[in-house]
Structure 1
Amino acid sequence: MQPITANTEIRHLRSRDRCHLSKILDAGDRWKDLAAIITKPDGEQGLLLTASNIRLLEQQKYIPNGSPTQALLDYWGTKGRKRPVIKDLIDYLIRSELYHAADYIAVNVLNGEAINKCGDGSLNGDNMLQSKLVNGASHFSLVNATTLSSDSLSNLNDDILPQKKSIKQTLFTPTAPNLSTLSIEDNSVCDDVSNILAAYSEIKRYSFSLISQSTKNFAEISVKDGGFKIGEGAFGSVYMSSLPSGEILAVKKLKNDFRNQFLNELKILTKFRHENLLPLLGIACEGTVLCLVYEFMVNGSLLDRIACVDDSSPIAWKNRMNITVKVCDGVCHLHSFDEKPYIHRDIKSANILLDKHLNPKVGDFGLARVGSQAENDITRTSAKTTNIIGTSVYMAPEAFRGDVSVKLDTFSFGVVMLELLTGLSPYDSDRDEPDLLSFVEERILGEFDENEITAEHLQPFIDPKAGQFDIELAFKYFKLSRLATEQRKKNRPTMVQLKELLKNLI
């Protein structure tokens, strides 16, 4: 077998190395950060992957033994006349700040040294994998493109490998705060959890011991199977907890690596109170185990209720309109209550919970971040981020470029509107057009121009489970959902603007 070198094509990575790299990047959807910056091959301008490509890659995680990272490597590794090689992979990993993955390739694949990242975000000059700034852009080069070993260090020229006293070069500087470092007040995460919680002394502390007992020590048995686990997301699992007092709670137990999401939800939910935002009742912590405690929503998620999971009753058309308006109200509150808007970034039917009266509560604020400008100045609501996060079938095209604005939430909300209208899942691998937006484009619009479609064309696609409906009202609702999911951000309304349009509709 040929030795693996820096110039070995990515597609020739050993199977065990691909598997290990996939475990690193699949966790927390870190592969998206890599996918979002890969450029087209052979010097062609632009990014390799479109929003549709990334949506398709994401679906690999729902397939048995599927891996978005493996699929990404397969797709990227066969593109271009000059195929991407391992040094290209490390270059992109470092530019994406995926240092753990870059370390694995450098040490375990190339037998080199780890990427020595310093506290200031720079790379140590002693490292054999050097960062050089070429024409003002970050560029990463592997010396001589040979198999790296400790013996090769002595042969490197000073201009390639600076001495230890050389100035460290910053590889990548984000243009906006990185969500993963977001904290309570000053964007620096405290090491001591107790110090963090001290800033929120007014928050109710629930007994961790009682909650642990009531969930059988957070047993992995679903409610459907007689256990207490309601579901699981990227940041943690949610359990139903019945306390001796008779109080029924929903408890989100955060994964160990997601303390920052805990802080983010704590920060937002103690600041924003609205009838259509899921209220935070308190917290429960023991050591480094962190739990957020919410009101239990007896009707579960909007996603499940639209699908009538567990034979639940269908949602009537009137209630669907009510849910639409109230979710819009809740998101508008996030966008307009403070001087700067808070952008949810993960609006989806699975994150909209329903109480006993089918009143919606928007939850899961782990990805939310502050926008750059007050909502009432709609010409300046954008910022940039280096983290590409969210659920791809709900993500606006600009989200994959790291462009963050209140209009990201508008786009996601428009997809939810289409779910409510059609009763269809946002993604179904059994459909010819798996994601809902593609289904709308191909099946509902078909060969018609956007302005040519009529209410009669739409009628067969309206969810029959919703009961009686006004076809003209449904058609106007559809047109609003299309406006909300406009591909070009400048043509898409803000949620505040959409709220006014909904009022006029109803």
Structure 2
Amino acid sequence: KSSTDDHNNNDGDDIVKVSEQNWTDLPGYRSRATMARPTAPNESLMSFTTIDCDHVISNQNNKDSADSLIRFSYQNLRNATNNFSSKNLTDGGTKLGEGSFGEVFRCATALLNPFRINDVKFVAVKRFKQLPVENSDNSNGRDEFLAELNIMYHFRHPNLVKLYGYSDDGPNLCIVTEYLENGSLHNYLFDRQPNRRPLSFAERVRIVTDIADAIVYLHTYSNLGMDKPFVHRDIKSANILLDEQIRARLGDLGLVRQGSNSNMETTIVTQTVKGTSVYMAPEAFRGDVSVKVDTFSFGVVLLELLTGMAAFDPNREESDMVSYIDEMIGDEFDQTNDRNNNLIESIEQTYQRWNNPIKIVQILDHKCHDWNQQLAAKLMILAKCCIEQRKRNRPTMIEVFHFF
């Protein structure tokens, strides 16, 4: 208890100072002059309205309640998550998952203040891992917290996970977001539950369309020609969440960074390679960050939806998805030259040349019984274009989205 009290007395002020001093240095910061898309708020987080659980801190410069965040007390979040229960939700606890920077819990809003969150029954709480006392440079948890909070505050899109607020007065920093009833796409596809029906073909197409839309939003957030696009860097089925209507949201924005527009630009190189290896483009391992990194990862997710197979399966002869697809149809799709055609025309030409119903049926997820084989085959060709080894041969996500 004394440790928590110390945090309550000291760390609340500290984190406000850190955010105020360093906000313009964070990757997602945009001044009013460089805001390019009207769908994103045009204020920095320094000028947002904070709604405290006990009282409202008003902001005369910000009249839009949609740009307000709730500052939750850590104790309140702890009570509403059953003391951040270590049991999984399926075992009667509140834990939804765990990542490299923290854990995620389902939180009952009835134990918070339901009038602040549009009467939703649950929210999700991401609790960041506690930093060691000796870690004075805040190189992991606090920087990650600030980066993700900043990105989520600035980027507003129907297919990005919605941000409600944060907590900074306890031993762990927390971000509070919307709760998606059907969990992650990865769990929906690969965690066998007897009462869960398989995704239909239409739902699979809608999911990839939703995610493509969200990625294009990130990549084109600032299109004045002066700023670099934002690259998600960790697109995978575990970071795609499904709501009650099986509409998809892209989450886990903590790794979003600015990168280069395409293979024609000077490459932006980072010394810190982050992401999930089985979804990562070859150049990403060298720290080469461009929008084509997200194209590759999207292609792997699309293949998971088409095949019903996980991106990595140690029991499969070709354990990673890219190797599996190369083994199945690689010889028929390998491109020896740069792709100069319009993507849709290129896919159509490849389909006319390759159309192989037996191979298509062999690859498609047998749990789905309403495949449109022609469209599924074209989606497979699209996925193969996305996972090209050379990034210059991959389409941009704008081109991909136009396919749908």
TM over 0.5: yes
Equivalent residue number for residue 242 of structure 1: 108
Q: CA deviation at 1:449?
A: 5.6
Equivalent residue number for residue 355 of structure 2: 454
Q: CA deviation at 1:445?
A: 1.8
C-alpha distance in 2, partners of 1:494/1:387?
Answer: 24
Note the 1:67-466 alignment, pairs <5 A.
184-187=23-26, 200=48, 201=50, 202-244=68-110, 245=114, 247-256=121-130, 257-307=140-190, 309-311=192-194, 312-339=196-223, 340-372=228-260, 375=261, 379-380=264-265, 382-442=267-327, 444-445=328-329, 448=332, 450=334, 453-456=354-357, 457-466=359-368
Deviations 1:225-258 (A, max 9, x none): 1111011011100000102236311100011242
Q: CA deviation at 1:469?
A: 1.3
AA aligned opposite 1:228: T
Using CA pairs under 8 Å that are at least 6 residues apart, name the structure with larger relative contact order, 1 or 2. Answer: 2
Q: Aligned pair count?
A: 310
AA aligned opposite 1:319: E
Is the 1:276–1:329 Cα contact (8 Å) retained in structure 2?
A: yes
Is the 2:230–2:256 Cα contact (8 Å) retained in structure 1?
A: yes
Change (3 A) 1:458 1:420: same
Equivalent residue number for residue 392 of structure 2: 490
Equivalent residue number for residue 133 of structure 2: none
C-alpha distance in 1, partners of 2:333/2:271?
Answer: 36
Change (3 A) 1:436 1:492: same
Q: CA deviation at 1:473?
A: 1.1
Change (3 A) 1:480 1:447: closer
Deviations 1:6-51 (A, max 9, x none): xxxxxxxxxxxxxxxxxxxxxxxxxxxxxxxxxxxxxxxxxxxxxx
Change (3 A) 1:255 1:199: farther
AA aligned opposite 1:254: F
Q: Which secondary structure state, in structure 2, belongs to the residue aligned with residue 366 of structure 1?
A: helix
Is the 2:267–2:289 Cα contact (8 Å) retained in structure 1?
A: yes
Is the 1:211–1:243 Cα contact (8 Å) retained in structure 2?
A: no
Q: CA deviation at 1:347?
A: 0.3
AA aligned opposite 1:353: L
Q: Which runs of 5+ in 1 are unaligned?
A: 1-181, 189-195
C-alpha distance in 1, partners of 2:329/2:316?
Answer: 16
Q: CA deviation at 1:382?
A: 3.3
Q: CA deviation at 1:308?
A: 5.0
Q: Normalising to structure 2: TM-score of the pair?
A: 0.72
Change (3 A) 1:486 1:183: farther
C-alpha distance in 2, partners of 1:362/1:464?
Answer: 26
Note the 1:471-490 alignment, pairs <5 A.
471-490=373-392
Q: CA deviation at 1:448?
A: 4.7
Q: CA deviation at 1:432?
A: 1.1
Identity among equivalent pairs (%): 41
Q: CA deviation at 1:183?
A: 5.3
Deviations 1:120-161 (A, max 9, x none): xxxxxxxxxxxxxxxxxxxxxxxxxxxxxxxxxxxxxxxxxx
Is the 2:313–2:320 Cα contact (8 Å) retained in structure 1?
A: yes
Q: CA deviation at 1:455?
A: 2.9
Change (3 A) 1:305 1:447: same
Is the 1:184–1:264 Cα contact (8 Å) retained in structure 2?
A: no
RMSD: 2.3
Q: Normalising to structure 1: TM-score of the pair?
A: 0.58
